[in-house]
A and B are shown apart, each in its own frame.
Chain A
Amino acid sequence: MEGGVATNQRFPKIKIREIKDDYLKFELRETDASMANALRRVMIAEVPTIAIDLVEIEVNSSVLNDEFISHRLGLIPLTSDRAMGMRFSRDCDACDGDGQCEHCSVEFHLDVRCDQDQTLDVTSADLMSTDPSVLPVDVAAKSNSSAYDASENRGIIIVKLRRGQELRLRAIARKGIGKDHAKWSPAATVTFMYEPEIRINEEMMESLSIDEKRSWIESSPTKVFDIDPNTQQVVVTDPEAYTYDEEVIKKAEAMGKPGLVEIEAKEDSFIFTVESTGAIKASKLVVNAIEVLKQKLDAVRLSDDTVEADDQFGELGVHMRGG
C-alpha cells in the first residue's frame, strides 16, 4: 500500500451498568453515531431467531379461522440460542424445505380438545416441540424457575375452546430475521441516547434567590436538577433524565439569565438500553449483532475479479493519460 498502512481504526470502550437476562443497559464510548445506529438497526432487524413460519391445520373447530391462528402461532417467541448456527431454509441443501430437516427447521405439534363445560385455554404450553432446545420462551422460563416468578405464568393464550371444539395442527419453525417479518425480531426495544454534559454557570446561579432557583428547577419536565439541602446550591442530580427539551434554557432566558446553564450532547458517548423478547439473552443479542454486522461488512468486500478488471482498466487509463 502506498504511504504505509495508516489505519483509522477506533478502539471503543464499553461499560455495562445493568444486566439481566432480558434487559441490558450499557455505555458505548469513543465511537460515532453511525456505529451506534448500525448496531441498533442490526439488533432490531438482522439478528436471527426462530419462529413458527408454516402451519398445517388438521382440525380447527375453534372460533378463530386458520390464518388467524397461524398468525398468532408465528408471534410466539421461541428460545433461539441455536439460531446463529442454523441455516436459513432457503439456503439449506440437505432438505427440500418440508421442515423435516434438523439444519433449518423445528417441528411443533398441537392437539387439544375441550370435553368440559368450562372454556379451555389453548396456550403456548400445549405446543409440543421436537427439539428440547427450541421452546416457547415462557415455557422455558418456567422449567428453570430461577429466571422469574413463574406462579403467575399461564402461558401465551392462542385460542379459547368451548365444549366439543378441537384444534389439531403441525407447525414448522424456521430461522429468520426481523427484516423479513417482525416475528423474527429478538428485540423488544433497542434505544440509545447521547450522554449529556451539563455545565451550570455557578457565579450566575448564585445571583438567584432560593425561590428563583426553585422555580428554575421546576421548569424542567424531568427531574434533572435539585437543591443541595446543606449548601443551598443547585446541583445536577440525574443528567440522563434530561430529554433535550431545552425548557431550562428557555426558562433561564425568560428570567433574564441567558447562559445560566450550558447543555451539550457528547457526540462520542452513547447510553444503550436493550430489551429482549426472551428469544435470546440481551447480552447475547449485542454479541450476535456485532457478529452479524461483521458478516455484512465481509460480504461487501470487493471480489477479486472486480479488482483485476480495474487493474487492467487502470493501466489503460495511464496510457490514455499519456503515462
Chain B
Amino acid sequence: MNAPDRYERFVVPEGTKKVSYERDTKIINAASFTIEREDHTVGNILRMQLHRDPNVLFAGYKLPHPLQYKIIVRIHTASQSSPMQAYNQAINDLDKELDHLKTVFEEEVLKHSRDY
C-alpha cells in the first residue's frame, strides 16, 4: 500500500545530483563525496583503488542506512594532491582496468570458440 516503488533503489530522483562534493571544514585536503543510488559495488572498488594511490592518506566509504540508497566516500590526501584529483584518477584507472579486462576476456572467448 505505502511501499516505496522498487525503482527508487536505482533511479536518481529528478532535481537530485548523482554525486555531491563536500569539503571538510577542519582538515585541508579532506572531503566527502555523496553518491546517490549506489552501493557496495561502486563504493568498494573506489575505496580499494584509492588505497593504491600513494597520495591518499585515508579513503573509506559507508552505506549510512540500508533504506537510504546512497553511499558516502571520504578521502583525505597529502598536500601534493586533492580529494577531487584522487577521486577522478581512481575512476579513470578503474575505467581503463575494465577496458583491458573486456579486451582480454573477449580474446579468450574467441580462442575457445575456435577450438570447438
- Chain A: residues with CB nearer than 8 A to chain B? 1-3, 6-16, 19, 26, 31-32, 34-35, 37-38, 41-42, 46, 90, 177, 179-181, 283, 286-287, 290-291, 293-294, 296-303, 306-307, 309-310, 313, 317, 321
Does B11 touch A at the CB level, under 8 Å?
yes
Query: Contacts A3-B81, A90-B7, A179-B10; is A8 near B93 (CB within 8 Å)?
Result: yes
Instruction: Check A34–B48 contact: CB distance below 8 A.
Output: yes
Q: How near does chain A come to B33, taking the closest CB pair, in angstroms?
A: 8
- Chain B: residues with CB nearer than 8 A to chain A? 6-7, 9-11, 17-21, 23, 28, 33, 35, 38, 40-42, 44-49, 52-55, 80-81, 84-85, 87-102, 104-106, 108-109, 111-113
Instruction: Check B98–A34 contact: CB distance below 8 A.
Output: no
List the 9 closest A-B pairs by CB distance, nearest first: A34-B48, A8-B52, A9-B93, A34-B44, A16-B108, A41-B41, A34-B45, A290-B102, A38-B45
Provide the residues of chain A in CB contact with B96, threshold 8 Å.
7, 9
27 A-B pairs whose Cβ atoms sit less than 8 Å apart in the complex = A7-B96, A8-B90, A9-B96, A10-B93, A11-B97, A14-B105, A15-B108, A16-B109, A31-B101, A34-B49, A35-B45, A35-B97, A38-B41, A90-B11, A180-B9, A286-B105, A287-B109, A293-B41, A297-B42, A300-B19, A300-B42, A301-B91, A302-B19, A302-B21, A303-B19, A306-B19, A307-B84
Instruction: Check B95–A11 contact: CB distance below 8 A.
Output: no
Q: How near does chain B come to A180, taking the closest CB pair, in angstroms?
A: 5
Provide the residues of chain B in CB contact with A283, threshold 8 Å.
109
Contact of A293 among B85, B92, B98, B105 (CB under 8 A): B98
Provide the residues of chain B in CB contact with A296, threshold 8 Å.
38, 41-42
Provide the residues of chain B in CB contact with A1, threshold 8 Å.
85
Query: Contacts A32-B48, A302-B21, A306-B19; is A297 near B10 (CB within 8 Å)?
Result: no
Per the bound structure, the CA–CA distance linking A293 and B45 in Å amounts to 10
Provide the residues of chain A in CB contact with B111, threshold 8 Å.
16
Instruction: Check A303–B38 contact: CB distance below 8 A.
Output: no
Contact of A310 among B84, B94, B108 (CB under 8 A): B84
Instruction: Check B81–A2 contact: CB distance below 8 A.
Output: yes
Secondary structure class of chain B's binding surface, majority of residues: helix
Contact of A14 among B55, B88, B108 (CB under 8 A): B108
Provide the residues of chain A in CB contact with B40, threshold 8 Å.
37, 41
Residue of B nearest to A19 (CB): B112
Per the bound structure, the CA–CA distance linking A160 and B75 in Å amounts to 59
Per the bound structure, the CA–CA distance linking A296 and B17 in Å amounts to 15
Provide the residues of chain B in CB contact with A307, threshold 8 Å.
84
Residue of A nearest to B7 (CB): A180
Provide the residues of chain B in CB contact with A301, threshold 8 Å.
19, 88, 91
Extra 9 A-B pairs, beta carbons < 8 Å, given A3-B81, A16-B109, A180-B6 = A8-B89, A19-B112, A26-B105, A34-B45, A283-B109, A287-B109, A290-B105, A297-B91, A317-B23
Per the bound structure, the CA–CA distance linking A42 and B7 in Å amounts to 16
Per the bound structure, the CA–CA distance linking A32 and B46 in Å amounts to 12
Contact of B18 among A46, A291, A299 (CB under 8 A): A299
Residue of A nearest to B17 (CB): A303
Per the bound structure, the CA–CA distance linking A126 and B95 in Å amounts to 44
Provide the residues of chain B in CB contact with A321, threshold 8 Å.
28
Residue of B nearest to A33 (CB): B48
